[in-house]
Each structure stands twice: as C-alpha cells, then as structure tokens.
C-alpha cells in the first residue's frame, strides 16, 4: 500500500472514530436530559398535588410535610387559575418585579406581571401544564426546565465545538511545521546537488575546449554532441540552483517561451506524437526561463507517457482578466476525477519507473516561484487530459514601471 492510500485509510478511520465519539456523547447526554426532564415533571406533579392538599387538609403536621415537599421543587413554576390570574410562583427571579416597584414608589402601586407573563409564555412552549381542581376552580401548573437541564442540553454541542476547534488548530500548526520541515530538506538538497554538479561540469567544459584544440572539431561531430550534453547538464544544475533560492522573474512573451521549448522538445520524441500550439501570441508574464522550461518539460513528458501509440499534444495560451492561461492537453489515457489532486502529491505514480516527483515539483515551481496556480482542468479516462497553469499577466503600465 502506498503512503497516500495509507494516509487516506487513517483519515477515514479517524473520521469514523470521531463520529462514534461525538454521537456517543450526544446520545448519552440526550439520555441524561430525558431522565432529568422526567424527574422534573414528576416533581412538578408532586408540587401541584401538594398544593391541592394545602387546601384540602387542616392537619398541621401533614401541612408542614406538604409545605416541605412544595419547597423542594427545583424547577421554575407558575400556577394560573381559569381566569388567567397568577396564584403561585416558584423558582422565579422576583427581584425583576421589585425593581419596577421601587421605581414607581410614589405612584399607586400596581403589581407588574410582564416578567411573569413572558416566563409563562416560555413555559407554555416547553411543557404541557398539569391540571388540578382547587376549591372548585381549574388551576393550571406551568413549569420550565431547570437551569441545570438547560445547560446540560447545550453542553455536548459546546464541548464538541471546543474540541473540534482545538483539533483543527493543532492539525494546522503541525501540518504547517511539517511542510516547512519538508521545504528545508527540499531546498537544501537542491542547493547541494547544484553545488556538487558545478565542479565536474566546469572541468568537463574545459576538457571539451582542449579537445576542440587538439582534434578537428568541425570534422568530428562527437565533440559537438558531447558539448550539447554538457550544456544540458549545465541547464540541469542551473535548475537545481534556481529552486534552491528565490529566482528572478523577467517579463517574457509566454507564447515565445513555450514555442522555443516545444521546438526543442518535439524533435526528441517519437514522431507518432503530433505537437500543436495556438492562442494569444503577445501576452506577457513574469517567468524564470530555466524553471518554466522545467515545468513544461514535466507536463510534456507526462503527456507523452500518457499517450500509447499515436496522439496529439496541444498547448493553448489564453488571456482574460489580467491572467494568462497555459493549457497543456493530450489525447492520452486520462486521469480519474478522484485523482485530480493526488497526482500533485510527491511519490504518487502509476508508472513502473516513475518517481512521482514530476508534478509535485511542477506545482512547486508554478505556485512558489511564479506565484501562479496549476491544476487538472479536465480529464476523461481513455480520452485525454488538460492541465491548466494560471499566471498573472503583465500589463503595459507594469512593463514601463518594471
Ligand atoms: N497527462 C497525464 N495523463 C494521464 N495521467 C497523468 C498525466 N500526468 C500525470 N499523470 C498521472 O500522475 C502521476 C504522477 O505524475 P508525476 O509526473 O508526478 O510522476 P511520474 O510521471 O509518475 O514520475 P516522474 O517522477 O518521473 O515524473 C503519473 O504517474 C500519472 O499516473
Ligand atoms: Mg512525470
């Protein structure tokens, strides 16, 4: 199993685990809430019943007992008679009406029932009233959830959100530190490679110059071929040195740069593949040619690999809203939709002798060094693929100030 399949499995496993924990916690709290709600209703019923007893009995001991039961009710409750008048209040914040009374000290005091009315409305929404007949009239006992029950209802949501925020922050912090670690390894390796290649390349160049003097270079094509290969090696070393430091971007006509590379590349692959080019011939973008050529090389090599037998590779340049589009299309085997992002991850390959590094490097060069964007624009298995690069277009006023 490759590391990406493994990573995905872990992701699914952890996600399933998180869902189990979250639903377990929600279900358990729901169970607790139901238990408490049932017990609160029973208490409210006992309270209502005790009130009835107050009016029905004149045995003092019994009444003391009944009062004790009545006082033990922990949920806020209101008793209303059939004319809508408040008979009893329990567990409510009566200071809210006192404040009003103090303010109206000098006036003819009327009992302020607005607070009780609003509480009553809330209670009506929460529970069915308990009915009792006292002294021949119908009383309704309304009650609402205790503060504890209300808090318990929201507790798991608050708890789970806090945990989710914590995990998300931790994940972001770890993944960005891992990325910057990878970055350092990557940049260090590139710099070291360029450095190590530098010395033998310079001496090879010097040897070639010597050989040219010693042998008849015009008659002997071997020396010219050797020189070509050493120059190629120089380009490779140059590319590595460029990704090891921040490259300079110069303004170039995109079409010309792509055309130059295509001319170089197309003669080096089988003639069963046809190359085409089209689109905007004037739009400019900030490019570092050695790195941008490397981007094109990776995309074109992949396109060639994707084509079995005959096929067409087409590069189209477009411009819109200050952006340059470079679409590289092929008539190859295509990429399944589920792999549109995965192809850019290092190590992902479907080729026997591939490293799976081409596209991850390409993405890095486009996004980190050219401030652009690259993605699979569309692809269909068995039909072909289009990769799109988006770069910022250089406008005329930028050119004069640059
Ligand atoms: N144009 C394309 N058409 C179809 N599949 C593609 C295309 N380009 C890339 N892929 C898929 O993406 C994978 C990763 O590409 P990438 O260039 O990163 O690695 P590679 O080509 O396999 O190896 P290398 O490191 O040598 O480039 C390829 O193995 C292939 O499956
Ligand atoms: Mg490749």
Q: How far apart are CA 312 and CA 304, in angstroms?
A: 9
pLDDT at 111: 56
pLDDT at 11: 86
Contacts of 171 (CB under 8 A, 6+ apart): none
Q: How far apart are CA 235 and CA 316, in angstroms?
A: 26
Cα 112 to ligand 1 centre (Å): 78
| 327 C-beta closer than 6 A to ligand 1 | no
pLDDT at 346: 86
Residue 62 has pLDDT above 60, yes or no: yes
CATH code of the domain made up of 247-401:
3.30.565.10
- Which has the minimum average pLDDT: 108-117, 148-157, 294-303? 108-117
Q: How large is the average pLDDT for residues 132-146?
A: 85
Q: How far apart are CA 312 and CA 276, in angstroms?
A: 7
Sequence spans of domains, the chain: 12-145, 174-232, 247-401
- Calculate helix-pair angle for 221-243, 289-306, nearest 10 degrees: 110
Higher pLDDT, residue 271 or 381? 381
pLDDT at 95: 67
pLDDT digits over 300-322, tens only?
999 999 998 899 999 999 999 89
Higher pLDDT, residue 255 or 395? 255
Cα 238 to ligand 1 centre (Å): 24
Q: How far apart are CA 121 and CA 133, in angstroms?
A: 22
pLDDT at 86: 83
- 318 SS3 class: strand
Q: Where are the alpha helices (DSSP H) in 127-214?
A: 147-214
Cα 165 to ligand 1 centre (Å): 36
Residue 58 has pLDDT above 50, yes or no: yes
Q: How large is the average pLDDT for residues 344-360?
A: 90
| 374 C-beta closer than 6 A to ligand 1 | no
Cα 82 to ligand 2 centre (Å): 84
Q: Which atom of ligand 1 is nearest to the CA of 355?
A: 25
Q: In this structure, which residue's CA is closest to atom 27 in ligand 1?
A: 358
| 288 C-beta closer than 6 A to ligand 1 | no
Pocket test for ligand 1, best of 273, 302, 336, 377 (most atoms within 8 A of CB): 302
pLDDT at 70: 66
| 156 C-beta closer than 6 A to ligand 1 | no
């Amino acid at each position: 199993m490759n590391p990406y399949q493994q990573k995905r499995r872990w992701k699914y496993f952890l996600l399933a685990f998180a869902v189990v924990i979250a639903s377990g916690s929600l279900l358990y709290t729901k169970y607790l809430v139901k238990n408490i709600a049932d017990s609160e209703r029973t208490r409210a019923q006992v309270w209502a019943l005790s009130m009835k007893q107050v009016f029905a009995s004149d045995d003092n001991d019994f009444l003391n007992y009944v009062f004790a039961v009545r006082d033990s009710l922990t949920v806020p409750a209101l008793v209303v008679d059939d004319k809508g008048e408040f008979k009893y209040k329990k567990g409510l914040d009566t200071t809210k009406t006192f404040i009003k009374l103090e303010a109206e000290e000098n006036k003819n005091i009327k009992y302020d029932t607005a607070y009780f009315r609003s509480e009553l409305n809330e209670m009506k929404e929460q529970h069915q009233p308990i009915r009792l007949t006292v002294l021949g009239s119908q009383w309704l006992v309304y009650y609402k959830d205790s503060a504890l029950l209300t808090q318990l209802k929201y507790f798991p949501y608050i708890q789970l959100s806090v945990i989710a925020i914590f995990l998300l922050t931790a994940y972001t912090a770890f993944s960005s530190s891992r990325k910057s670690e990878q970055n350092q390894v990557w940049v260090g390796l590139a710099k070291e490679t360029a450095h190590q290649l530098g010395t033998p390349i310079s001496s090879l160049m010097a040897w070639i110059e010597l050989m040219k003097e010693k042998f008849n270079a015009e008659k002997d094509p071997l020396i010219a071929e050797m020189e070509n290969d050493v120059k190629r090696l120089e380009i490779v070393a140059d590319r590595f040195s460029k990704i090891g430091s921040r490259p300079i971007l110069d303004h170039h006509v995109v079409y010309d740069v792509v055309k130059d590379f295509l001319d170089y590349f197309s003669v080096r692959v089988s003639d069963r593949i046809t190359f085409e080019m089209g689109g905007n011939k004037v739009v400019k973008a900030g490019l570092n040619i050695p790195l941008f050529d490397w981007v094109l090389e990776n995309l074109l090599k992949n396109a060639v690999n994707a084509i079995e037998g005959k096929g067409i590779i087409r590069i189209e340049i477009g411009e819109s809203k200050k952006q340059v589009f470079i679409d590289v299309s092929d008539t190859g085997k295509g990429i399944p939709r589920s792999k549109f992002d995965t192809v850019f991850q290092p190590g992902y390959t479907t080729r026997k002798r591939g490293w799976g590094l081409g596209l991850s490097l390409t993405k890095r060069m486009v996004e980190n060094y050219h401030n652009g964007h690259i993605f699979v624009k569309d692809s269909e298995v068995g039909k072909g693929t289009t990769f799109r690069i988006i770069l910022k277009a250089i406008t005329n006023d930028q050119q004069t100030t640059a």
